[in-house]
Copies of this chain bind each other. A is one copy, B any other.
Amino acid sequence: MKKRTYSCGLDAAVDVVGGKWKALILWALHHRPLRFGELRRSVSGISEKMLIQQLREMEAYGLVHREVYHQVPPKVEYSLTEFGHSLNTALIPLGEWGEKHMETIEALPRD
């Protein structure tokens, strides 16, 4: 989150979901709540540091809910809030676009 005012809705949305990981984390939580470790395995390539950092931000934004189970070994579950769910829904067409044009995208020049 960097700005306070936005020129349009897309501007605001990009500010919330921007970055390399947030959309993917949201996506991973689409079907059901996941534990930290499950999430790490779901979002391929993410480091523990990035994952927790993004999760903390998303929690602060009200997109995800963090539920701690006081057990040993520890168990923490992350789930989407209503807000997070609505954002995820808004991302569906973008995901479908990416799916549809995947081959084109993979063939695009790098840099």
Contacts of A101 in B (CB 8 A): 12, 83, 86
Question: A2 — nearest CB in chain B belongs to which residue?
Answer: B110
Q: How many copies does the complex hold?
A: 2
Bound: A4/B51 CA distance, A: 22
Distance in angstroms from A57 CB to nearest chain B CB is 9
Chain A: residues with Cβ within 8 Å of the partner, total of 50
Interface residues of A (CB under 8 A from B): 1-2, 4-18, 20, 23-24, 27, 43-44, 60-62, 83, 86-87, 89-102, 104-106, 108-111
Nearest 6 Cβ contacts at the A-B interface: A9-B99, A9-B98, A13-B98, A90-B97, A12-B98, A10-B95
